[in-house]
Amino acid sequence: MSEQSGARVPLSVLVPVKNEAANLRDCLASVAFAQEIVVVDSASTDDTQAAAEAAGARIVQFVWNGKFPRKKNWALESIRWQHEWVLILDADERVTPELEREISQAMRRTDVDGFYLNRRFWFLGGWINHCGYFPSWNLRLFRHRLGRYERIEIDDNIASGDNEVHEHVL
């Protein structure tokens, strides 16, 4: 719920997962302000599905055939989204109340189609502020019909599995 009004924000959230039960509860709690939360799962064998259901998220199963598209692009293209704006969040990421307010304001703009979010990494009890991990700007909030992840065709990229890990939204 929006801290300001108590109403849910007309936002769709995409969380791609596989065996993320340990992280998913807190992740989904941090986006409870969104009207639509979709968890795209790759046949998890832990309690991921139960965590998603408990949070009221819609669960969609994804089976990767080893080729393009991978999970995020597949979800952007295949899921019927309820809202124009989508936020893509990994299960180990959280939306702060400050970011929630910024997202609510940003989506009102008509002159912009996407926003870069600055991720912060928490490690061993503190924020990583250097070493290439901060700032870490990523296009994660955008009008879903306009954004897709780049297609990287290199031999060792297959090791990242069914999810776009190194790719960026174009």
In a domain, 155, yes or no: no
d(CA 102, CA 112) in angstroms, rounded, equals 14
In a domain, 2, yes or no: no
In a domain, 87, yes or no: yes
Query: Which residues touch 42 (CB under 8 Å, ≥6 apart)?
Result: 16, 17, 18, 61, 62, 63, 64, 71, 162, 163
In a domain, 66, yes or no: yes
In a domain, 26, yes or no: yes
Kindly report the CATH number assigned to the domain that includes residue 69: 3.90.550.10
Q: Are 21 and 44 in contact (CB under 8 A)?
A: yes
In a domain, 84, yes or no: yes
Distance from chain centroid for Cα 160: 17
Per-residue pLDDT of the chain (170 residues), as tens digits, is 445 446 789 999 999 999 999 999 999 999 999 999 999 999 899 999 999 999 999 999 988 766 655 778 888 888 999 999 999 999 999 999 999 999 999 999 999 999 888 777 776 787 677 776 667 777 889 887 776 555 655 555 454 454 444 444 54
In a domain, 165, yes or no: no
In a domain, 82, yes or no: yes
Task: Give residue 92's domain range.
Answer: 9-149
* Exposed/middle/buried for residue 7 (C-beta within 10 Å: 0-12, 13-18, 19+): exposed
Specify the number of domains making up the chain: 1
